[in-house]
Every structure is written in structure tokens, then in C-alpha cells.
Structure 1
Amino acid sequence: MIHTDAWVLHAGPKGAGPHGRSPGRLHREAFPFTEPGEDEALVEPLYGSWEANIEHALSRSPIDVCHLRQEEKAVMGNLGVVRVLHPGASRLLKEGDICMVMPFARRDRYGYAELIYAYDAPGTIGLLAGRTKIAADLLLPVPENTRYSLAQWAAYARYFTAWDNWRVAHGCWLTQMGDQDPGEHLVFGWGGGVVLAELELAKRAGFRVAMTAGSDRRLAELERRGITAVDRRRFPHLAHDSERPSGDREDEARYRDSEKEFLSAVEKLSGGTGVAIFIDNIGAPLYKATIKSMARQGVVTTVGWKHGMRTFHLRASECINRHLHVNTHVWRYGDSAAIRDYQESTDWMPSIDPSGVYEFDEVERLAKDYASGAIDSYFPLYRVNEA
């Protein structure tokens, strides 16, 4: 039996419905696990990437992952960079290899994820631990003699996810608009690092690109990367709850004013045609504005949600406007090495400020900062062990 220092999530009370669950928190404690099997590697995490699924696990929304896994406690953290301590029976790994973790705990016959390592897959132990064990075939080596830091590689998952989602969304747009000059069409997004990475691919494909941000630092980062930055503080009341409208006239008036300002911004950026491909990784609160901003033959695409997973639209209107809706999850397992090599060879990489990386002792603060929107970086990272 191996015991490791870890940040652990405990199961919530049983029997609580989705609206009765109290949020969880991470507890620093010793976590035991059995010795790795032949097909598993013993590793020590170096850098972890803080993802929305960790916040979902802590908020117990939409599920209590511990109950789903039928476990009393679990260690989250499914994306990051690790060092191999013992490769098990793998002939592709050796002691000391630095690898990225591919989160495919269970995949379908086509290579797409069904269960995610260190989230909803039972028995998996995440990177919020001093040591852990991982199926050897989920470890993808960082390129030898890479030009980039390990902290930059630790943010890979947002890029891998963006690569896959853009491939599908762009392909869908081309089915209806393949004879069009992309330079006359706008790709717009709101969300975080996945959206930023995806907009960089859209820019490389020749599209106009724009993204919202709510802080001066993020606005500057977008402009530095050649993405038109739209200050979301211009429309502060754009969130709309389709399931539970407030019924307050003043609230409705504030929403209409913010929506009008947002649609005006889109009209100017798109030359009056609307958004050709809208990358919406926020979810329900902004979905009404997303749909209203769309161009005919437009594509709305997402790889998940940050707030509110249920969305509503008028099916007839979507048909008449020939809007295509794309929903993807993670990426295809077999594409992992190709995406890694594309990043290395084309400089499609994040900028990481080393001073913004949280230490292992600061994980609780990281969780609070992420939940409150206090993190300026599009790529929040934590360091577990020294590289």
C-alpha cells in the first residue's frame, strides 16, 4: 500500500437532490492506494491544470462524483504533467520520462472519451497528490528537447480540446459556406483558455476573430495575440435565466440594454451579418444572446459549460436560419500525438507567467479564486513537485 499527501474530496450526504447538495471542499490528508498493476505507471505530478470539472466536482453539480463512483472520497485533477517513477510493464515508457496525462479512462471503439480519469471514472487517482498511479497508455511523452517550459505543456488540454472542437465546427461551417471567403466572416467566443486557443486556430484559417474579457489584463492578452478584445463590462447585465425569469421590469430593462449593446458590438465586428461560428463555453446564462447574435448558416459550438448546462431555443427559428449546433467532449485519443506535434512545430502554445502558478500548499486558495473569477490567467496551474 502506498500513502501520499493529497487534496481529497469527500462524498456529500446521501439522498440529497441536485438542489439540496451542499458544496464540498478539499481536505489535505494522507491518501492510500494499492501498488500499480503491470499496465499502470507510478508517477509524481509536476504541474496540474485547474479545470472546470474540478469546480463541478466541488460544487457537486450536476452530480456528486464520489457517489457516482461509489467511493467515500476521491482525488481530483486529471490534466497535467508528470514524471514517471516506475513504468510498470510498459515498453514505451522509462523511469524519468516527463509525460502529459490523457484523460481517457474509458473510450468508445472510435477513441472518444466515455469516462474521464480522475473525474467520473471509479478507482482513478488524480494529480492533486504527491504521487499517483495512471494507466501507462494514458501517458504521452513531452517532446524531447522541446522549446517550451513544462508549465506551458501543462496547459495542453485546453489546446487539445480546442483543436478537436475547431476541427468539427469549422468542418460543419464549410458544409454550407465552403465557397465563402473566411476573411469576411466573424468567429466570436466567450469562455476561457479553450476559446482563446480555438480563436487562434480560426485566425490561422483566415477568419476575423473576437472574444470577450472582463479584466484589463485579459483584454491586453487577447490583443497581444491578434484577437479583437471586447470588454464584457460594456454589457454587465447580459446573463439571462430562461428557466426562472425574474419578472422584475427593471431587471428585464437592464438585460435588454446589455443585449442591445452586445448585439451592436457584434454587428460592427461582423459587418452586419452576425457571428459565423460562435464558441460558447459559458452555457445557459448567455445562451439567449449567443443565438440572437448568430449569422444565417452559422455554427454555435461548445465543449461544455461553466454555468448552467440546460439551454433552450426555438427549433423552428434554428431550422429556418440553418444554424448548426456542435457539441464535443475532450478529443479523440488517437489524435493526441498529432496535436502535441502541431503545438511544438507551429508555436501554438500558451503564455504562462511563472509567478501566477499556485503552489501545492495554495490549492484551497486556487479553488476559491477560480470559483470567484479572481484569476486573470486563462491557464490556471498548480505545482505539486519540483521539475
Structure 2
Amino acid sequence: MIDTEAWVLYERSGHIQSALDSDEFRLEKFSFPGPESDELLVEPLFGSWEGNMTHSLQRRPIDICSQRRERRVVIGNGSVLRVLRAGSDVRGIHEGDVGILYGGHVQDEFGYTVLVQGYDAPGTVGVLAKRTKVAARNFLPLPPASNYRLEQWAAFSVRYLTAWSNYRVAIGAYRLQVDAHEDPAPYVLGWGGGSTLAALDLARRAGCRTAMVTGSSERLAELARLGIVGIDRRRFSDIEFDEARYGRDPDYRAAYRQSERAFLDIVGDWTHGRNAAIVFDYIGAPVFRASVKALARQGVLATAGWLMGMQMTVNRAIECIGRHVHVHSHYIRHGDSPAAMDYAAREGWMPQVSEIYSWEEIGRLARDATAGRLRSYFPVYGVNPI
């Protein structure tokens, strides 16, 4: 057995929803079986706080302890790792090597993620631990020419790999209907968090005209520095759609319609009446209706997340007439990851990390994340000394 220190999530007791409303998420000793012959014993150096970690603590959309049928779980799957020991069947990876974790613990026959380490894959130990083990195939060495900080690679490991895959499918779907000579610089709109920002930055680098919705002055300034148009969500503050409330509450319905009209007017002004060729909507149900209405004909609605709601109502006739394509993806194919990492190292497509929480501050980080108080698109925490 391997003994370590970890932030441990316990199964839910009673009717308490969030683990942070009790003592069900805490720092303590944790033990796990040693690595198999095709696995690595590793120590995380930096971790990235991901949306699925917040979901785990809130126990929405699933309770992962219940899903995994485990009393105690260590979460976390965005990280830079250092190898401590390689299994006897491992080739080409040695003690001291540094890389990022590919989180797809269970993959389908084509290399796409089914279950995620440190989330819904049973028996896995996430990176909120001083030591953990990973499948050797899921250790992705950093590009040899990388001049970027390890904390940047930690933030890159989930959000940027997810964005790479989602963007490539979305732009590919658009180009099946509209050729580059017909629309050489598509309008691409997004709202969400770090994955949305990464996808928009990738689109901008490919020559697209990009804009992102945010309600934060700090983030509007960050978007301006990146050359992405910032759309201030405070100008349409009642944009979150609740279908049931819309049907029964006339005051809410009027406020929503006013906000939706304001949002669509801003998008129309930005696109000169064309609307967006691609909308990255990583939020979900509350803005789905507005996202669809902001699409141009032949437009693509793309998502790889469901931050606030998973169920949406679609008018199939309108979507068919508009020839809208809906793209749903989940992380990245294992074999596509090295190309994304090489591009990032070569072109500078990397996150800017502005704040790093210490190992002891992870409880505060968890509370900031669940309360929506994070100031950065890329919250990072330290685990072990470099």
C-alpha cells in the first residue's frame, strides 16, 4: 500500500447536499494499492481546479461516491506530475520525468474518454493527493522545447485539451457547409469559463473574429488584452432562462425578453447583422435559448460542458430550417493530445495563471469555486515542491 496525504471526499451523510456544508471534504491520510506493472507512481506538482471538482463537492449532476460505490474518494484530474517510480512493463518513462495527466482513465475503442480519473472512474485516485498512480499511457510528457511554467501546463491539461477538440469539431462542421472563401473570418461567440476562453483564443489565432460574454470587469480587461471582444453580461442581467417560470410569471417573462433582445442586439451589432457562425456555450440550460437565437444560418452550437443545467428544449423545425449543427464533445481523444501540446508550446496558446492556492488553502479554494468567487479563469493550486 502507498500512504499519502490527500483532500478526501466522503460519501454523503443525511440530507446535506454540498460536502462543504459538513465535514465531508477534509485533509487527512489516505492509502491506496501500489501501482501495477503498467502504471506509474507520481507526485502532482501543481493542480488545476476543474468544474468536475466543484460538481463533485456539490454532488451535482451526480454523487460520485454513490456512483463509484466508494465511501471515500480523492478527486482531481488536471495536473502536472513528476514520476517517482515506473512499473516493470513501462518503457520510455523514467523517474524524474515531468508531464501532464491525460484524465481519460477509461477510453473507447477510438481513444475517446468514457470515465475520468479522479471523477467517475471507480478505484482511481485523483490529484488532490501528495502521491497518486496513473496508467503509463496517460502520462503525457511536456514538449522538450517548452518555455512555459509548470502551473501553466497544469491549467492547460484539461481546459485547453478540451477546447482543442471541441473547436476542431465545431470549425470542421461549419466548413462542411460554408467554405473558407465564402466566409474567411467567421464570427465566433462564447460564454463560459476557461475552456471557452481557450477555444476562442484558438479561433482568434485561426483568423476568426471572436467575442466572449462575461460579467466581470477584470475578465473584460483580460479579453481585451487577448484581442477578444468582451460583451458585458451586466447589460442583459436577466438572460438566464427558466422555462417553467417563463410560462407562469409575466414579470419574469417580460424581464427575460428584454434581456434576450438586448443580448441579440449586441450580437447583431458586432456581427453586422449576420449573427455568429459558431457559439461556444459551456454553460447549458440557462443560456441555451439565447445561444441558439444568436446563431447564423449554417451556424454551429458547440459545447463540452454543462455548468448550469443539462436538459434543453429544442425546436427541431427551426434548427433544421436554419441548418444548425449541434456539437457535443467531452475532453479530447488521447491520440490528439500531443499535437495540441506541441501547438501550444510552439505558438504560445497557453493560459495565464494569476493566482496559485497553497496545499493548505485548498479548502478555501473549494469554497471560492462553489460560491462562484473565483477571479481567475484558471485557478491553480500547489501540491508538492518543484
TM-score by length of 1: 0.95
Please give the per-residue CA displacement for 1:135-189, whole angstroms capped at 9, x wherever unaligned. Answer: 1111111123521100111112211111111110001001111155445531000
Mapping of residues 22-101 of structure 1, within 5 Å:
22-25=17-20, 26-89=25-88, 90-101=90-101
Measure, in 2, the Cα distance between the counterparts of 1:208 and 1:145: 30
Query: How far 1:198 moved relative to its partner?
Result: 0.8
Conserved? CA contact 1:81–1:153, under 8 Å: yes
Q: Which amino acid aligns with 1:348?
A: W
Conserved? CA contact 2:40–2:83, under 8 Å: yes
Measure, in 2, the Cα distance between the counterparts of 1:203 and 1:324: 21
Label 1:343 to 1:184 Cα distance change in 2 as closer, same or farther (>3 A).
closer
- Which residue does the alignment assign to 2:295? 294
- Which residue does the alignment assign to 1:17? none
- Which residue does the alignment assign to 2:239? 238
Measure, in 1, the Cα distance between the counterparts of 2:343 and 2:180: 27
- Which residue does the alignment assign to 1:163? 164
Q: Tell me which moved more, 302-311 or 85-94.
A: 85-94
% identity of equivalent residues: 47
Contiguous gaps of at least 5 residues in structure 1: 15-19
Conserved? CA contact 1:21–1:60, under 8 Å: no
Measure, in 2, the Cα distance between the counterparts of 1:130 and 1:204: 37
SS at match of 1:155: helix
SS at match of 1:84: strand
Label 1:179 to 1:386 Cα distance change in 2 as closer, same or farther (>3 A).
closer
- Which residue does the alignment assign to 2:326? 325
Contiguous gaps of at least 5 residues in structure 2: none
Conserved? CA contact 2:353–2:380, under 8 Å: no
Query: How far 1:288 moved relative to its partner?
Result: 1.1
Q: Tell me which moved more, 170-179 or 298-307.
A: 170-179
Mapping of residues 369-384 of structure 1, within 5 Å:
369-384=368-383
SS at match of 2:47: strand
Query: How far 1:204 moved relative to its partner?
Result: 2.1
Query: How far 1:63 moved relative to its partner?
Result: 1.3
Query: How far 1:360 moved relative to its partner?
Result: 1.0
Measure, in 1, the Cα distance between the counterparts of 2:259 and 2:199: 26
Superposition misfits of 4+ residues, deviation over 6 angstroms:
none
Q: Which amino acid aligns with 1:62?
A: P
Conserved? CA contact 1:298–1:322, under 8 Å: yes
Please give the per-residue CA displacement for 1:282-332, whole angstroms capped at 9, x wherever unaligned. Answer: 000111111111111110000011100111111111011111000000001
- Which residue does the alignment assign to 1:310? 311
- Which residue does the alignment assign to 2:228? 227
Q: Which amino acid aligns with 2:37?
A: E
Measure, in 2, the Cα distance between the counterparts of 1:155 and 1:179: 32
Conserved? CA contact 1:182–1:205, under 8 Å: no
Measure, in 2, the Cα distance between the counterparts of 1:178 and 1:143: 33
Q: Which amino acid aligns with 2:45?
A: L
Measure, in 1, the Cα distance between the counterparts of 2:383 and 2:178: 47
Mapping of residues 1-387 of structure 1, within 5 Å:
1-13=1-13, 22-25=17-20, 26-89=25-88, 90-156=90-156, 157-183=158-184, 185-245=186-246, 247-353=248-354, 356-387=355-386
Q: Which amino acid aligns with 1:330?
A: Y
Conserved? CA contact 1:45–1:127, under 8 Å: yes
Measure, in 2, the Cα distance between the counterparts of 1:68 and 1:371: 21
- Superposition CA RMSD, Å: 1.5
Measure, in 2, the Cα distance between the counterparts of 1:321 and 1:294: 9
